[in-house]
């Protein structure tokens, strides 16, 4: 017969038909279908034929054609009954070994919970500022001053930068300034509040950033002078239940601000935080400030730019640098700017100083560190689980033997143990949820970590179930492989000796766990010692027993002298000084010109404004010359430099040098030894100390040690009688300094917590392994006893193996500790060194904990009556 090309009927229809049709009719019906199809294709075309083919295939589904299981002769296993049996046996085994089972489930649950908690923390930290619609195009403009000795990165920029960018540079859609408004009084009727956390913002601020408004128009709310936008919370605070829109808030008793918008509560993952926004045109340079809004040297403003969709940030940055340098030029300093993408501001600002108030910064290495810890803990928990499950299953030789004799293939026994492992994993998941639920308040209050409500886990359920399933399979794979390999005869005799390879594998797991534990223990020690070092390092001044009182500028102007006199009458008060900053990272700065130098050749100096008693109060050491003195009225135009500044400017004889600084020609009268006015993350910057030329906001009070609370109440009553209504806002200088290390403190407490957990988990695993090995050595112990071994000798024999494992783990862990420790300590300009005792201490700690753990089993084994273990032979 002539072969012709026949178009083939729809393949999937054929497959479907073969799938449902019983064997007896399949071939003949399919033949009819094909024959019909070939005829139809000629008469009606392929499309109709194919469609009809599908319809026919579907029509053929009926009781004659469908497959019927009964009619086939093949044996079908009853899987559901088998799995039900597996579950039953699992539960029975868990119930029989309650203590083991709970250790196992709890251990894995702790691992899962830690992992989840860290996951949520990390997710929160990574989600910062992602809620702005244009976040891809928003950049913060920062500036860097490059000196030969190093670079200083400043997050805040001068006020003239934003208008300069707007007027001169294309490719930028909008640019806004943000200026932190220091504490001021705000009042509505007779309700007066002293309020910080407020920014002055350009009118486009709300069009660049998506902070949602409940009422008011985002495009016009900040357009006019004296406009204020407040959050919902502030609306309640100031106006109660009234509608604040269009109402007036009185600012510092002399200006009226019109409420033009109400903001939704700010998302918790915004790096800019504020309670109120005041239109930028409202901002007045405070009295006594030497710069105005055209300044290119007053770095006190945040500049944010919204770039056009296809603009190239690099070329725009080059233009901004050119613009900057056209307006200001500093001697020996190269000024460059950097466009910092919005999404990297929160985590990527570690190198910046001069960050300003109400701006939050995170720490990327904290996040990486915690993620690694999370994975390590999960690995430890998984390994534990493996070790414990294997140990737990050893008593089940008879069961496995019987199953094998009754025909269970190796695969079925593997399946059984995998099912058990998965079931236990899911129990752990439930326990983990309970742990998270009960630890929420602890994390919120102690560690400042907000865990989401349980309802928010719903979207994670598929992921969690999947992950738990995989953990179950992975950690069940080893015990199941070991146990399914037993020969039925050996198993039935209850003679479960595991081979040498198995022991090596388990020891390997154990060493790995020990290494991780050692690293975490050493990590905790390093972090705690570094924090201690930071806390106790002499910063160049005495920070103890100094109170700082926040004073409103106008109160300072009016009441400072009388407050100082009154305070100093108390015997507990040693000194009183005013200052604009207090060693907690904040500082002002300005350009300094050596007399006779060109206008544009300036050094950037940070400066403190303080008065006469500052040096005595803080104990800062004077190297040359003298400090401000009441005997020299001309000291109001004097200045004092630190050693770094002297070095930077290359002054041979600093005392007597004339320097133009903060709009006055000042003569240097003294040099102080360098002190840490910034955090220890950064080097000491060049700085100057001048007499106050503005009203500062801080009073520093040095008090005698002991009975601080009494002193505080004395000061407060003085304050009330002199200043009156304004709140008495007092803090300890030390606390302010401590706050600069908040991130590290948080990391320290998290790492401490999780390394404790990891050590506990590793010990649980160790306990399992010890039980396992002691059980298999019982006969050896019996024989040794019969032959006269002492208790001490037996303990040695039983523990030796584990001591060796721990020593091995130490060998592996030490280089890792060295590397990672130095990596973290690299974040600090002033840091401890990794000393030998850190390694030894962590090793010893682990050894002691491990020996205590195994002693329970080894002592029990060593005390067993040899008759009991030997009589079977």
Using CB under 8 A as the criterion, which residues of the chain lie in contact with another protein when the complex forms? 1, 25, 27-36, 38, 56, 59-60, 62, 64
CB-nearer residue toward another protein: 31 or 246: 31
Cα 780 from Cα 873, distance rounded (Å): 12
Beta-sheet pairing, 687-690 with 603-609: parallel
If the CB atoms of residues 55 and 461 are measured against another protein, the closer one turns out to be: 55
| Alpha-carbon distances, residue 327 vs 58, 300, 317, 759 (angstroms) | 82, 17, 15, 59
Is the CB of 56 or the CB of 555 nearer to another protein? Answer: 56
Q: Which is nearer to another protein, 18 or 856 (CB)?
A: 18
Helices (H), 708-835: 708-722, 733-739, 742-776, 778-786, 791-825
Rounded to the nearest whole angstrom, what is the least distance from the CB of residue 3 to another protein in the complex? 9
Tokens 């850190």, residue located: 838
Comparing CB distances to another protein, the nearer of 59 and 792 is: 59
Q: Are 420 and 476 in contact (CB under 8 A)?
A: yes
Q: What is the DSSP letter of 283?
A: -
Phi-psi region of 601 (alpha: psi -120 to 50; beta: other; left: phi over 0): beta
* Helices H / strands E in the chain, number of each: 25, 25
Q: What is the closest distance, in whole angstroms, from the C-beta atom of residue 72 to another protein in the complex?
A: 18
176 vs 204: CA distance, rounded Å: 6
How far apart are CB 1 and another protein at their closest, in Å? 5
Distance, CA of 395 to CA of 437 (rounded, Å): 36
**Selection from 208, 214, 317 nearest residue 266 by Cα:** 214
Asked if 176 contacts 304 with a C-beta cutoff of 8 angstroms, the reply is yes
Nearest to 137 by CA among 163, 166, 175, 178: 175
Cβ proximity to another protein, 58 vs 489, nearer residue: 58
Shortest Cβ 65–another protein spacing (Å): 8
Question: Based on CB atoms, which residue is closest to another protein, 28 or 709?
Answer: 28
3-state secondary structure of 180: strand
How far apart, in whole angstroms, are the C-alpha atoms of residue 501 and residue 515? 21
Q: Which is nearer to another protein, 60 or 627 (CB)?
A: 60
Judged by CB, which is closer to another protein: 37, or 486?
37
Contact status, residue 671 vs residue 624, Cβ threshold 8 Å: yes
Beta bridge partners of 550: 698, 729
Cα separation of 228 and 65, whole Å? 79
For residue 411, give the 3-state DSSP assignment.
helix
Nearest residue (CB) to another protein, 35 versus 735: 35
**What is the smallest separation between the CB atom of 59 and another protein, expressed in angstroms?**
4
C-beta of 21: minimal distance to another protein in Å?
A: 11
Cα 823 to Cα 808: distance, rounded to the nearest angstrom: 24
Q: What is the DSSP letter of 296?
A: S
Q: Residue 38 CB, nearest distance to another protein (Å)?
A: 8
**CA pair distance 427, 268, nearest whole angstrom:** 33
For the bound state, the minimum distance from the C-beta of residue 34 to another protein, rounded and expressed in Å, comes to 4
Q: How far is the CB of 27 from another protein (least distance, A)?
A: 5
Shortest Å distance, C-beta 69 to another protein: 19
* Smallest distance from another protein to CB 387, Å: 59
Token output for 711 = 């002193």
Beta-bridge partner residues of 660 = 593, 665
Bridge pairing between strands 213-215 and 191-195:
unpaired
Q: For residue 107, which of 855, 854, 763, 849 has the smallest C-alpha distance?
A: 763
Q: Nearest distance from residue 25's CB to another protein, in Å?
A: 8
| Burial of 738: CB neighbours in 10 Å, binned 0-12, 13-18, 19+ | middle
Which residues are paired to 670 by β-bridges? 625, 640
Report, in this order, helix, strand and coil percent for the chain, each rounded to 5: 55, 15, 30
Backbone φ, ψ for residue 196 (5° rounding)? -110, -160
Q: How far is the CB of 33 from another protein (least distance, A)?
A: 7
- Give the C-alpha separation, 121 to 130, whole Å: 16
CB of 460 to another protein, least distance (A): 49
Q: Which two tokens stand for residue 301?
A: 């403003």
Nearer to another protein, 16 or 469 (CB): 16
Q: At its nearest, how many Å lie between another protein and the CB of residue 48?
A: 15
> With contact defined as beta carbons under 8 Å apart, do 690 and 607 qualify?
yes
Determine the angle formed by the axes of helices 500-536 and 791-825, rounding to 10 degrees: 50
If the CB atoms of residues 36 and 135 are measured against another protein, the closer one turns out to be 36
- Closer residue to another protein in complex, CB, 1/81: 1
| Closest to another protein by CB, 27 or 710 | 27
Nearer to another protein (CB atom), residue 38 or residue 722: 38
- Residue pair 368/127 in contact (Cβ under 8 Å)? The answer is no
Residues with Cβ within 8 Å of residue 663, at least 6 apart in sequence = 290
Question: Which residues are within 8 A (CB) of 404 and not within 5 positions of it... i.e. 6 or more apart?
Answer: 413, 486, 488, 491
Quick one: 33 or 116, whose CB is closer to another protein? 33
Question: In the numeric block, which tokens belong to residue 135?
Answer: 């976040």
Min dist CB 74 to another protein, Å, is: 22
Question: How far apart are CB 22 and another protein at their closest, in Å?
Answer: 11
**CB distance 757 to 793 below 8 Å:** no
**Smallest gap, in angstroms, from Cβ of residue 23 to another protein?**
12
For another protein, the closer CB: 29 or 748: 29
578 neighbors 610 (Cβ within 8 angstroms): yes
State which residue, 55 or 811, has the beta carbon closest to another protein.
55
Taking the chain, what is the end-to-end CA distance rounded to the nearest angstrom? Answer: 82
């Amino acid at each position: 017969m002539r072969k012709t090309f026949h178009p083939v009927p729809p393949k999937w229809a054929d497959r479907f038909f073969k799938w449902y049709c019983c064997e007896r009719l399949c071939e003949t019906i399919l033949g009819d279908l094909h024959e019909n199809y070939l005829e139809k294709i000629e008469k009606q075309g392929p499309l109709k034929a194919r469609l009809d083919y599908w319809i026919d295939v579907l029509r053929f589904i009926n009781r004659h054609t469908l497959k019927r299981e009964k009619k086939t002769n093949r044996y079908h296993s009853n899987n559901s009954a088998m799995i039900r049996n597996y579950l039953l046996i699992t539960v029975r085994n868990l119930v029989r070994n309650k203590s083991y089972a709970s250790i196992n489930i709890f251990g894995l649950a702790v691992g899962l919970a830690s992992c989840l908690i860290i996951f949520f923390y990390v997710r929160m930290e990574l989600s910062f500022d992602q809620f702005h619609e244009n976040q891809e195009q928003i950049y913060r403009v920062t500036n860097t001053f490059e000196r030969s000795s190093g670079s200083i990165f400043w997050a805040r920029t001068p006020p003239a930068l934003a208008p300069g960018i707007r007027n001169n540079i294309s490719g930028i859609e909008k640019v806004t300034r943000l200026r932190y408004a220091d504490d001021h009084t705000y009042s509505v009727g007779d309700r007066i509040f002293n309020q910080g956390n407020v920014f002055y913002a350009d009118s486009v601020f709300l069009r660049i950033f998506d902070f949602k408004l409940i009422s008011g128009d985002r495009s016009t709310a900040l357009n006019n002078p004296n406009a204020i936008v407040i959050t919902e919370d502030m609306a309640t605070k100031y106006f109660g239940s009234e509608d604040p829109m269009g109402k007036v808030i009185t600012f510092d008793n002399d200006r009226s601000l019109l409420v033009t918008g109400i903001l939704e509560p700010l998302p918790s993952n915004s790096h800019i935080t504020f309670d109120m926004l005041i239109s930028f045109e409202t901002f007045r340079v405070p009295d006594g400030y030497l710069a105005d809004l055209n300044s290119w040297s007053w770095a006190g403003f945040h500049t944010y730019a919204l770039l056009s969709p296809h603009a190239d940030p690099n070329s725009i940055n080059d233009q901004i640098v050119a613009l900057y340098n056209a307006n200001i030029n500093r001697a020996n300093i190269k000024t460059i700017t950097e466009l910092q993408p919005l999404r990297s501001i929160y985590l990527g600002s570690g190198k910046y100083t001069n960050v300003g108030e109400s701006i939050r910064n995170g720490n990327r290495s904290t996040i990486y560190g915690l993620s690694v810890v999370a994975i390590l803990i999960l690995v430890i928990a998984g390994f534990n689980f493996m070790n414990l499950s294997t140990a737990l299953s050893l008593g089940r030789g008879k069961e496995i033997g019987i199953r094998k004799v009754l025909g269970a293939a190796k695969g079925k026994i593997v399946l059984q143990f995998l099912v058990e492992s998965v079931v236990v994993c899911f129990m752990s998941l439930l326990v983990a949820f309970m742990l998270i639920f009960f630890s929420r308040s602890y994390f919120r209050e102690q560690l400042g970590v907000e865990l989401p409500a349980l309802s928010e886990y719903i979207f994670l359920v598929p992921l969690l179930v999947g992950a738990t399933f995989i953990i179950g399979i992975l950690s069940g794979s080893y015990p199941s492989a070991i146990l399914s390999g037993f020969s039925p005869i050996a198993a039935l005799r209850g003679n479960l000796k595991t081979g040498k390879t198995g022991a090596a594998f388990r020891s390997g797991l154990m060493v790995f766990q020990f290494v991780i534990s050692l690293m975490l223990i050493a990590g905790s020690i390093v972090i705690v010692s570094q924090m201690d070092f930071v806390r106790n390092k002499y910063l160049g001044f005495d920070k103890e027993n100094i109170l700082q009182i926040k004073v409103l500028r106008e109160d300072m102007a009016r009441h400072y002298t009388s407050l100082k006199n009154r305070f100093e009458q108390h015997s507990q008060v040693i000194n009183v000084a005013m200052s604009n900053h207090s060693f907690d990272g904040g500082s002002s700065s300005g350009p300094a010109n050596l007399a006779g130098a060109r206008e544009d050749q300036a050094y950037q100096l940070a400066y403190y404004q303080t008065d006469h008693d500052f040096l005595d109060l803080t104990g800062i050491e004077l190297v040359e010359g003298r400090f401000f003195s009441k005997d020299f009225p001309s000291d109001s135009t004097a200045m004092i430099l630190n050693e770094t500044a002297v070095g930077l400017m290359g002054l041979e004889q600093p005392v007597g040098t004339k320097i133009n600084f903060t709009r006055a020609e000042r003569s240097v009268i003294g040099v102080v030894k360098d002190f840490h006015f910034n955090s220890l993350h950064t080097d000491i910057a060049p700085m100057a100390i001048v007499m106050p030329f503005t009203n500062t906001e801080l009073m520093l009070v040095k008090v005698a040690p002991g009975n601080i609370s009494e002193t505080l109440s004395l000061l407060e009553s003085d304050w009330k009688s002199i200043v009156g209504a304004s709140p008495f806002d007092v803090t300890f200088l030390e606390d302010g300094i401590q706050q600069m290390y908040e991130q590290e403190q948080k990391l320290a407490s998290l790492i401490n917590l999780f390394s404790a957990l990891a050590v506990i988990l590793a010990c649980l695993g160790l306990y399992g392994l010890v039980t396992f090995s002691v059980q298999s050595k019982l006969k050896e112990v019996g024989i040794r006893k019969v032959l006269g071994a002492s208790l001490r000798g037996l303990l040695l024999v039983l523990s030796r193996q584990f001591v060796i494992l721990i020593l091995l783990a130490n060998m592996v862990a030490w280089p890792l500790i060295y590397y990672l420790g130095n990596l973290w300590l690299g974040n600090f300009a002033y840091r401890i060194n990794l000393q030998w005792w850190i390694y030894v201490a962590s090793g010893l700690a682990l050894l002691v904990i491990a020996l205590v753990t195994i002693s329970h089993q080894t002592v029990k084994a060593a005390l067993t009556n040899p008759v009991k273990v030997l009589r079977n032979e």
